[in-house]
Amino acid sequence: MARLSRYLEIGSSPHVTDGTSTDVIMLNVFLALLPVTAFAIYAFGTGAALVIVVATASCVLTEHWLCRWTGKPSTIGDWSVAITGLLYGLILPPDLPLWMVFVGGVFGVAVAKFLFGGLGMNAFNAALVARAFLQAAFPQPMTHWQMPFAEGRFEHIPTSVLATPFWEPTYDAVTTATPLALMKFEGQFAGGRELMAGLTSGSVGETCGVLILLGGIYLVARKMMNWRIPASIFLTVAAMTWAFQLYDPVTYPGPVFMLFSGGLMLGAVFMATDMVASPITNAGCWLYGMLIGVLVVVIRFWGGMPEGVMYAILLANAVSPHIDRLIQPRVFGTGRGTE
Amino acid sequence: MHPPEMKDETADLAIRQFPFAPVLIVPLSQHLGNPAKPVVREGQEVIRGQTIAEPDGFMSVAMHAPASGLVRRITLAPSITGTKVESVYIEPYPASTQEIDDGEPCGLDATPDEIITAIQHAGIVGLGGAAFPTHVKLKPPEGKRLDTLFINGVECEPYLTTDYRVMLEQTEDVFMGIRYLLRASGTSEVIIAVEANKEDAAERFRSMCPDDLPVTVKVSPVKYPQGAEKMIFSALLGREVPSGGLPADINAICCNVATTAEIGRLLPRGRGIQERVITIGGPGVEKKGNYRIPIGTPVRFALEQCSPAEDLSRVFMGGPMMGPTVSNLDIPITKGTSGITAFTTAETGGATGHKKVYPCIHCARCVEACPVFLNPSQLGILAKNEEYEQMAESWHLMDCFECGACAYVCPSHIPLVQYFRMAKKMVRKLSAA
């Protein structure tokens, strides 16, 4: 008969967990963005590659420094700031001066994430805050669009990318207007197939809708994303656009154009779904997605700017805690089914 | 939510009699309610099955000697709750044949009140784990009427196979128990609830059911925590027990299948509970199995008989989702113990295995998992800030029945249900003050 002599440990149940971990979820989101990133570099060349690297590095280093500076253990190992950095890189113009990229990344992480209390506390998506900051600070470089698949895009670095800080950048790349700008100012609508395949110009990683969707499907399949948010955004935008197009097909584009142009796909799949800044209930997520959808359509059709996804999501982020306050699960034994 | 069931290793093992430990420790409080009053004194000889403590009031049940032997001491002994409770130490006679002393039988022709008293004096409590005195449930509050009797065979905790074995091996006892329960409670309909992964048990009930019993066997989906009575009522009857209410509010009562089998086995012979069926399992023991074990057997003795692993690291009563950890191996098996599960360092990770706790990222997994539709994420944040009253007043803390689903799914490894257990205690303390 064996004698028990070992010390046993004491812990409160449950004694098992399902094995998921926050850092694993974050890492998977990061991985889901890699195909989009690869396509971005292929489409826009060395400029885009540099922008993505500097954007990611600026965010990760900022978080690391701030943690060290405040005497806390570094939190970059949870991969959340890496997602912020990569997403931030993917929503910038491909020939943006690198010093601007760096300044924006520092601002986004320091103000929108760290000052709010770090992971889990950020009320706003930090990547979008960084971009909104640049949009306000450097409006011209932020609306300068390089032609995709340009000749020699892998051989040389666009001069603007390496511009000296605080000096006016000079541009040598061939530029073009984004599909949304063409819609807004010229009344031209790009074709759906062209948009889905990523043949148009735009921010580094927002052009190829198909790859973004595939990344989203991967995350939904692994139960790491609430599909209701993008679904709600898509349905709202499509329904509104369809109604307007029916009313006036010359002024208003169709649903396919609206869904696959600009940052809608990337925003709906990867940024509106930021778990921290979105509502916690499924019903709340539907409402939150609808709000984003309506705002996108309103800003795109009647706002001063051609694109509205960024502000739509940031505004919805601000409303998200209130949605959570309004919509809570119906507690068992209250209301329906109770006698 | 579907934690791995882990039942394969013991599901096919028939119930076997467990040997007597050198000393059996019978706590006088193994149930919710008042502790029983001892009717034996130190140094007295007792016969197996003899009543050694009488119920103290209605919310209390009797205790019986688990073995023929000598009452060594009546004193405080460690219990699973962490507090010490008054207990009777019995030293079984090694040479005794351990015949059971039968009492006054209670037949099916007895009145409902006589059956209720017989159940109380047989010391019967919920054997599923809650150890709520069964006879109390049978007497609904004034003005309530019971119509449906549920027999709960949904054993949703991983590793445990006691109810499953009882359903297969004591099917006749279950039907006999149902007869007593029907008569005592005045219900007119019986639903036996079995999980879809125990289809053979359901089939056995269907084929063996006597024609005169109003029994329906219903199969519920395999899902944690389907075995909680509130979940069974809502899944199979479509009625939700109101928040803060009792099953009697929806005219139903629920009785664990092993409890029912014991009623059917003990009452005709006038016996009390002096043993129960438990599963001893988990990777930490070699001789896993389903055992009929004397009440009062110390956990240490039980484990030693089952070849414990060298690197045993955590031992808990019941299953891994809700089972309380054994903090002292001299704690006895009580009526509410449905199993002993042992983990090695491979499962717990040992001293360095504690998972890193991340901040809540609002991923909503806990909200999806909560069977009573609470918001564990929000409750967890409030608990961390010690805002217990707000948790109870605005976030339905007291509706939590501590199934542990939230902590099981949390990717940030936040000890949610652990916070809530503490918070509930604090709220009770604050409201009592």
Of A23, A334, A339, the CB nearest to B243: A334
Between CA A319 and CA B121 the distance in angstroms is 60
pLDDT at residue B32 greater than cutoff 60: yes
Half-sphere exposure for B114 (CA within 13 Å, toward CB): 11
Structure tokens at A174: 């061939």
Residue A247: exposure state from Cβ atoms within 10 A (0-12, 13-18, ≥19): exposed
How far is CA B369 from its chain centroid? 23
| pLDDT tens, residue by residue, A227-257 | 999 999 999 999 999 999 999 988 889 999 9
- Average of pLDDT values for A139-159? 88
CB pairs under 8 A between A and B: 175
- Average of pLDDT values for B373-377? 96
Predicted pLDDT of residue A339:
43
pLDDT tier at B323, thresholds 50, 70, 90: very high
- Average of pLDDT values for A99-107? 97
Q: Which residues of B touch A282 (CB under 8 A)?
A: 364
pTM for this model (two decimals): 0.92
pLDDT tier at A6, thresholds 50, 70, 90: low
Q: At what angle do helices B199-208 and B171-185 cross, to 10 degrees?
A: 70
- Contact call for residues B301 and B18 (beta carbons, < 8 A): no
pLDDT at residue A192 greater than cutoff 90: no
Task: Return all residues near B106 (Cβ < 8 A) that are at least 6 apart.
Answer: B114, B115, B118, B180, B267, B268, B270
Amino acid identity at A321? P
| pLDDT tens, residue by residue, B72-107 | 999 999 999 888 999 999 999 998 889 998 888 999
pLDDT tier at B71, thresholds 50, 70, 90: very high
- Contact call for residues B197 and B160 (beta carbons, < 8 A): no
Interface touch B320/A17, C-beta < 8 Å: no
pLDDT tier at B352, thresholds 50, 70, 90: low
Interface touch B410/A17, C-beta < 8 Å: yes
Q: Which residues of A touch B147 (CB under 8 A)?
A: none
Q: Helix (H, G, I), strand (E, B), or coil: what is residue B406?
A: helix
- Average of pLDDT values for A122-141? 95
Predicted pLDDT of residue A338:
46
Instruction: Give percent above pLDDT 90 in chain A.
Output: 69
Q: Which residues of B touch A119 (CB under 8 A)?
A: 358-359, 361
Of A10, A11, A17, the CB nearest to B408: A17
Interface touch B417/A329, C-beta < 8 Å: no
Amino acid identity at A177? A
- Average of pLDDT values for B213-221? 94
Predicted pLDDT of residue A2:
53
- Average of pLDDT values for B327-331? 91
pLDDT at residue A153 greater than cutoff 70: yes
Interface touch B407/A17, C-beta < 8 Å: yes
pLDDT at residue B151 greater than cutoff 90: yes
Task: Return all residues near A304 (Cβ < 8 A) that are at least 6 apart.
Answer: none
Instruction: Give percent above pLDDT 70 in chain B.
Output: 99
* Average pLDDT score over chain B: 93
Structure tokens at B151: 């027999």
Closest CA to B257 of B300, B210, B302, B204: B204
Closest CA to A177 of A300, A89, A262: A262
- Contact call for residues B69 and B93 (beta carbons, < 8 A): yes
pLDDT tier at A171, thresholds 50, 70, 90: confident
